[in-house]
Every structure is written in structure tokens, then in C-alpha cells.
Amino acid sequence: MRTLSIASTGMLAQQTNVDVISNNIANMNTTGFKRQRAAFQDLLYQQETRPGTSAGGASEAKVPTGIQIGAGVRTGGVYRITEQGAPNQTGNRYDMAIQGRGYFQVTMPDGQTGYTRDGTFQLSDQGELVTADGYPVQPGINVPPDAVDVAISKTGQVQVKLAGQTEMQTVGQLQLATFVNEAGLEALGGNMFLTSPASGEATIGSPGDPGLGTTMQGFVEASNVNPVAEITALITAQRAYEMNSRVVKTADEMLATSSQLR
């Protein structure tokens, strides 16, 4: 009886689905988080009678549909939905949100370049713009210790006002990175991503350039998780799991009935 194995694949698939949904719900308030969705594929089919084979005899009639029995379902992939999250005002002049496409570039401890939508930035003890984990933001931007005001434009230009001066001085220029396939970035955790063969190499440019978003000072991007949609998806996954478990129970009852035949 194939029913037991088929239903078990359905239960495993829905378990993965619930794992993905629960991760989305857990990250409802994670800055710059992008929700994910599980995609499923049917498994190989057992060809008992192939469509289009001869019906036999002298007739040239062909079997119109055949007999193909599926083996169940598997998780084909978990893809990331990169739509924009709502900007939340923080009041911190170093916080940055991206309105549109693009990722901030960050120098990781191992020297690699990481990419993030989390613009929760601060200054290090050297006056360098860094992430919440202390990783430097690329390209390196240093704010003088005697700066009394900092302004970051929509195009990423960083200007400071020094004590005793009236004119703003430019100290750096933020740059953003885009990818052909943003969903193909490798997630590291900590709101950080790395390039992968699926994402392609980064294309670097200034905020506001064609194909790039703009920066918003004093804001961070909220998660794009929709709680109502996630709860609805969770209920759907739960019901699908229950139906597959019901199939397992039915198959078990059928086997019990057949074993009692005399």
C-alpha cells in the first residue's frame, strides 16, 4: 500500500511549511526582515500505463490518459519575498532606511562583504559608522568628534556641521548594492546576507541612481511580515497536516481489515 508513504510526505511537507511560517511570525519585529514562503513539488510518478500507448488488438486506438500514480510531495524551495517594509521613525540621526531597491554594504569580521537592509547604525569609539554588531559600513565614513550635527541626504551624502562653523562639510558618500536575483542571497542571520551563485554579483551605486532606492535618515525599515496573512497560512498548513494524518489513519485501518481476512 503506497498510501502510508504518500501521506507521510504530505505531513513532512506541511511540517516544513509550518517551520517557515513560524520563523516569519517570530521575526515580525525584526528590522528589515523579509518573509519567506515554502514552495512544493509533486514526486515522481509510477507509470502503470503510459498515456498514448496502444490499446491493443488490430485497432490503432491509443490510451488517452493512462495510469500514473503519484508518490507524494516534497519541498521544492523556500523563497524570500523582498517587497518593501514600512519605514519606522526612530529619532536616531544615524539610523537609515532604504526606500526602494538596494542593500547596505558591511565589512564582516572575516573580511567578506555582507549585505543588509537593517540600517540600525551607530558610531564606534573612532567615530566610524558601524552596525549594531560593530561591523563597519562601506565605504568607511568617519564623523569628526567635534561635529554638532549630521545630515544624510536621500542620495546618501553624509555631511557634518562642526563647532564654530556655519557651513556643512561632506565627510562621505553611502553606496548601495543590488542583485539580479535578490531572493538568491545566502542568509547568515543577524540581518546579514552574502552573495551566492544564485544571486549574482553585486552592482554598486549611489542612492537615487537608476534602479536603486533612496536613503531616509532617522528611519529603519520594518519587517514585511503580515500577521493576519501568516496566521491564515498557519491554519491552512495545520488543516493540511491533519488531513494527511487522517489518510495515514485510514490506511492503517485498511491494513488492519485486510490482515483479519481468513
The answer to whether 85 and 32 are in contact (CB under 8 A) is yes
* Cα(199)–Cα(182) distance, integer angstroms: 6
pLDDT above 90: residue 11: yes
Mean pLDDT is lowest, of 136-140, 143-147, 175-179, 258-262, for 258-262
pLDDT at 59: 63
pLDDT at 52: 67
The β-bridge partners of 56 are none
Tens-place pLDDT, residues 135-159: 999 888 888 888 888 899 999 999 9
pLDDT above 80: residue 49: no
pLDDT above 70: residue 55: no
* Cα(104)–Cα(138) distance, integer angstroms: 8
Q: Containing H/E element for 158?
A: strand 157-162
| 47 or 22, higher pLDDT | 22
What is the pTM for the complete model shown?
0.83
Tens-place pLDDT, residues 194-251: 999 999 999 999 999 998 999 999 999 999 999 999 999 999 999 999 999 998 888 8
pLDDT above 70: residue 58: no
| Residues 222/225/226/229 CA torsion (nearest 10 deg) | 180
Closest C-alpha among 80, 98, 87 to residue 205: 98
pLDDT above 90: residue 22: yes
pLDDT at 56: 64
SS3 content of the chain, % helix, strand, coil (to 5): 25, 35, 45
pLDDT above 90: residue 61: no
Annotated domain spans of the chain: 3-82+225-259, 87-221
| Residues 36/198/13/117 CA torsion (nearest 10 deg) | -20
Average pLDDT over residues 115-133: 90
Tens-place pLDDT, residues 86-121: 999 998 889 999 999 999 999 999 989 999 999 999
Please state the length of the chain: 262
Q: What is the residue whose three cell numbers read 485501518?
A: 253
pLDDT at 25: 96
The answer to whether 48 and 69 are in contact (CB under 8 A) is yes
